[in-house]
Chain A
Amino acid sequence: DADVTQTPRNRITKTGKRIMLECSQTKGHDRMYWYRQDPGLGLRLIYYSFDVKDINKGEISDGYSVSRQAQAKFSLSLESAIPNQTALYFCATSDLDRGWDSTDTQYFGPGTRLTVL
């Protein structure tokens, strides 16, 4: 089984609809992240959470909200989707407090391709 899973993997929705993207991890990591990826712009951080009680805005948080339901679950919501939120969304986890060896990095989920019409 994959360590970081995202549901749904693909979603097409209409402008104005509320959408929730879910992320679950079995790595036991404290830190979780949501990114969006657009062609030519790379990965941009939307929100991040260093533990269940800690939620922080990233560089492009407007129009998004998150919920950290448990250590293993971090959900991203679009309260009222708009077409320029069409993108590939990635969830990631890390456990940086355990030190810097080659395995202590951010682990990415498979991505959710969201299309807003």
Chain B
Amino acid sequence: GQNIDQPTEMTATEGAIVQINCTYQTSGFNGLFWYQQHAGEAPTFLSYNVLDGLEEKGRFSSFLSRSKGYSYLLLKELQMKDSASYLCAVDDYKLSFGAGTTVTVRA
């Protein structure tokens, strides 16, 4: 089976940094996705990690440790528009999603 855990909610201040952790125990693993989802909208792709290490894309970075079954998404210089849910998903030729982390950015 698939077990993917991430915190339910996080709150941070505009301009700050927030780190969203994701741990997983899955029967297969090809890579790990992070998606952003605003309320009532479709998820949109943020990052994909296959190898261990940090991938940086502008204000967003994602880290993967395959041996530890662990990933995190780092959001820097938070903006109000970053208030959304962030979904961690394990790729095993199909995606298994965590329940999502709702991030609220306060002024």
**Contacting residues of chain B (5-48) with chain A, CB-CB under 8 angstroms:** 8, 31, 33, 40-45, 47-48
Known: A90-B42, A108-B42, A108-B43. A42 touches B97 (CB 8 A): yes
User: Is B80 interfacial (CB 8 A cutoff)?
Assistant: no
Q: Which of A41, A96, A102, A109 contacts B42 (CB 8 A)?
A: A109
Specify which chain A residues have a CB less than 8 angstroms from the CB of B98 in the assembled complex: 42
Specify which chain A residues have a CB less than 8 angstroms from the CB of B31 in the assembled complex: 100
Specify which chain A residues have a CB less than 8 angstroms from the CB of B44 in the assembled complex: 108
User: Is A15 interfacial (CB 8 A cutoff)?
Assistant: no
Binding site for A on B (CB under 8 A): 2, 8, 31, 33, 40-45, 47-48, 50, 87, 89, 93-100
Binding site for B on A (CB under 8 A): 33, 35, 40-45, 48, 56, 58-59, 88, 90, 96, 100, 102, 105-111
